[in-house]
Amino acid sequence: MPYPFLARAASALLLVASVACSSSKDDTPAPAKPGISWTVDNSNLTANSMQLQTSTDAYEVGAYYNLGAVASNYISLRIPKAVGTYPFSPTSVAGASYSVLNNSVATAVYYAGANPIGNGTVIGAGTIVVQEVTASQVTGTFTFTGIDRDTGNTKSLSNGKFVVRL
């Protein structure tokens, strides 16, 4: 062979190319785990179960956090179907509620958002931020202060995060 260095160079290039193309690392991000988490009364909670209903303009998500055999908390979020920041207002579809349950009976319900949703007086305050909407999931954050209509007491939820599979 008249050019032996070319054969060695070509072999080396093929080896480098095959190693570069056969990396075992997958750069595809892993899907986020579905769920809802929040902070209330200095406790970080993550829902044990979730349910989803879809309306024309929002995803309505409910989630339970069980504290034990006789008590649990329930959070309900009305999440708009488009990416954006949604402060609760008389015309916003965004809204939330938080319930404290004892033996499946609500002992206190804290509402935040328009009542009825989208065209009434705002009770409480809050914001839902929709960060991503795909064909398979919606993700984002929330914070709100709900008001118990019967007592006037308030409950503040912060550090809220959601990943909801559609």
Tens-place pLDDT, residues 79-103: 999 999 999 988 889 999 999 888 7
Task: Count CB neighbours of 112 within 10 A.
Answer: 28
Higher-confidence residue of 37 and 5: namely 37
Task: Count CB neighbours of 50 within 10 A.
Answer: 17
Per-residue pLDDT at 58: 95
Task: Reply yes or no on whether the pLDDT at 121 is more than 50.
Answer: yes
Residues 6+ apart with CB under 8 A from 148: 108, 109, 110, 111, 154, 155
Report d(CA 166, CA 57) in Å as an integer: 14
3-state secondary structure of 60: strand
The overall average pLDDT reported for the chain is: 81
